[in-house]
A and B are shown apart, each in its own frame.
Chain A
C-alpha cells in the first residue's frame, strides 16, 4: 500500500531528477573541465584570463549553499522550465549545483594524467585535440568515472533537499509524511531507499572503474 501509493512514485521522481540533472551537469562539467585543463598554466594552451574567470565562477557556485542557490535562481528556472516548483523545475538548480562540482572532479582527473604521456604524444606530432581526447581523456577515464559517481551521489543528497521545498521525490515524502505527520515508519523507509540507491550507484561506479582499469 504505502509502497505503491507513496514510495514508488517518489522513487521514480527522485531517479528522474537525478538522471537528468546528472546528465546535464556531466555534459556542462566535462566541457568546463576540458577548458580549465587546456587553459591552466601547465596546460596545452595556457590562457590566464579564461582560466581565472571560469575558476572564479565555479568557486562561487560551489560555495553557495544549495538551498540558497535553489531560491536565488528561481527567475532563471522559471525562464527555462516555465515554473519554479516541481520535479522538472528542480532539475535546473540541481544542474547548477552539480555542474561546477563535476567540472572540478573531471578537471582533477585530467590533471592527474602523467605529463610524460603528453610529452610523448607531442613528440610524435599529435595536435592539441588529439592529445586531449586520444591521450588525456582516454587515460583519465577511470578517474573520470569515479568523479561522475561522486557527482551522482551528491545529486541524490541535493535532490532530497530539493524535495523538501516542493520538488517531489523521496525528500518530499520524508518531509511531508515523516516530519509533518509524525509517520516515522515512512521516514525510515525513505531513508533506507535512499541508502539503497546510493549503494547501487556506488557499486555500479566501482564495477565500471575496475573494468576500465583492467
Chain B
C-alpha cells in the first residue's frame, strides 16, 4: 500500500529524516512512535505530500508522491484522510458543515452530501450534534467530527497525527475503539503517529520507532514488547523503579503462559525467596502479555536463570542503570 525507501529530509542543516525505509500493507494499522521532535509527524506529512522529501522514494498505491503534479496530488489526497492533534475544525461551520466540507470541495450534489454526512455522523455517534458548533463540543467529540470528515471521501488510507494526544485516557480509548472499528469495517489502512504507548498497544499491529529521524527498531508490536530492544526500553521503562541491591530479573509471559503459576512453582521447586518488585499485565490488541520483575539475592541468580531457561520462559536481567 505504502512503500518508503531511503527517504531523507532536512530543514536547513538539521536532518529530520535519514534513510527511512519501511512498508505498510493494505488493511493494516501501522504505528510510527518516538519522542517529540523525532520526525514522525514530518514523515506522516510526506505520505500525503503536505511536506516534501529530499531523497528517496515514497510510493502510495504505486504512485511516487513527489512526482505528482498538483492535480494528481489532490486526487491522491482524496484517497488519504487525515486527522490531527488539534482537530482542525472550522469554528464557524457547524458539525454538519465541517463534515460536508470535503464533499462540497469535490463538487458532490446536495442529496449525496446529506446522505453521506448523516451516515458518517451515525458511525461516529454524533447525529444529535449536527447543528452544534465545534466550540460546544468536547475534545473527544471534536475528534469524532474530524474522523467523520476524514472519511467523507471514502479514503483507502487514514493518517492520524497524534490524534489522541490532547485527550484524556478514557476518551483516547473510545477514539481508538472507533479507529479499530473503521479499520475492520472498511478495511482502511491506518497510519498512526503517536508518543503514547497505550495507543500502540491498543491498536497497532506493526510499528517503527523513530529517533532523530532514524528508524531505531521495527516489527510486530507483540514481538517488540515481549522482547524490547534498548531503544524501545528507553521509551517503555520510565515507570519502573527497581531495588538497587540484589539482582532484578524481568520475566515475560506471552499470552498462553499468563495463567500459569510460574512464580509460585519456581519458589517451591527452587526453595528460594525473592520478591516481586514490579509487574504489569497488558493487552496488545487481542493478545495478553504479562511482565514481572523479581528481586532476588545475587547468589540465587544462576539457579533462577537456569530454571527459567528450562521452562522455556523469556527473561532478562534488568540493568540498574536505566
Which residues of A are in contact with B by a Cβ distance under 8 Å? 114, 116-117, 119-127, 130, 134-135, 138-139, 141-142, 212-214
**Closest 3 pairs between A and B when the two form their complex, measured CB to CB:** A123-B82, A120-B88, A124-B102
In the bound complex, do residue B90 and residue A124 qualify as a contact, i.e. CB atoms below 8 Å apart? no
Size bin of chain B's contact surface: 20 to 34
Q: How far is the CB of A139 from chain B (nearest CB, A)?
A: 6
A-B contacts at CB below 8 angstroms, number: 69
B75 at the interface (CB under 8 A from A): yes
Q: Is the interface of A mostly helix, strand, loop or mixed?
A: helix
In the bound complex, do residue B92 and residue A212 qualify as a contact, i.e. CB atoms below 8 Å apart? yes
In the bound complex, do residue A124 and residue B84 qualify as a contact, i.e. CB atoms below 8 Å apart? no
* Closest residue of A by beta carbon distance from B146: A120
Interface positions, chain B 237-278, Cβ under 8 Å from A, are none
Which residues of B are in contact with A by a Cβ distance under 8 Å? 48, 50, 70, 74-75, 77-78, 80-82, 84, 86, 88-93, 101-102, 104-106, 133, 146, 149-150, 152-153, 159
Q: Within the assembled complex, what's the spacing in Å between the Cα atoms of A207 and B215?
A: 55
In the bound complex, do residue B92 and residue A141 qualify as a contact, i.e. CB atoms below 8 Å apart? yes
In the bound complex, do residue A123 and residue B92 qualify as a contact, i.e. CB atoms below 8 Å apart? no
Q: Is the interface of B mostly helix, strand, loop or mixed?
A: mixed
Do A125 and B75 form a contact, CB below 8 Å, given A119-B84, A134-B104, A134-B105?
A: yes
In the bound complex, do residue B90 and residue A116 qualify as a contact, i.e. CB atoms below 8 Å apart? no
* Closest residue of B by beta carbon distance from A142: B92
In the bound complex, do residue A116 and residue B84 qualify as a contact, i.e. CB atoms below 8 Å apart? yes
For A138, list chain B residues within 8 Å (CB). Answer: 90, 92-93
For A139, list chain B residues within 8 Å (CB). Answer: 90-92
In the bound complex, do residue A134 and residue B84 qualify as a contact, i.e. CB atoms below 8 Å apart? no
Q: How far is the CB of A124 from chain B (nearest CB, A)?
A: 4
In the bound complex, do residue A123 and residue B80 qualify as a contact, i.e. CB atoms below 8 Å apart? yes
Q: Within the assembled complex, what's the spacing in Å between the Cα atoms of A123 and B86?
A: 14
Q: How far is the CB of A8 from chain B (nearest CB, A)?
A: 40
